[in-house]
Amino acid sequence: MKDSIKVVQKVLSVINFTLIILIFSSCGSTNRSRISQELYKEEYKIINTFFTKGIKDNIYLHKKFFIDTKIARYFNSKNIDSIIESRGIPSYISEDTLKVLLNKKVREEFHTLILSSKKIKIDKNRILSENLKLTNKKEYLISLPLIIDDLAIFCKQSKFETPVFIMQKKKGKWKIIYTFYDKLILI
pLDDT for 32 equals 36
Global pTM exceeds 0.85:
no
Mean pLDDT value of segment 124-147? 84
Domain boundaries, the chain: 12-184
Mean pLDDT value of segment 14-37? 40
pLDDT tens digit sequence for 88-116? 999 999 999 999 999 999 999 999 999 98
Confidence band, pLDDT 50/70/90 cuts, at residue 158: confident
Mean pLDDT value of segment 140-157? 91
pLDDT tens digit sequence for 43-73? 888 888 888 766 667 778 888 888 778 888 8
From residue 144, alpha-carbon distances to 6, 21, 113, 147 in Å are 56, 34, 11, 9
pLDDT tens digit sequence for 5-14? 555 455 445 4
pLDDT tens digit sequence for 164-185? 999 999 999 999 999 999 888 7
138 backbone dihedrals φ, ψ, rounded to 5°: -105, 40
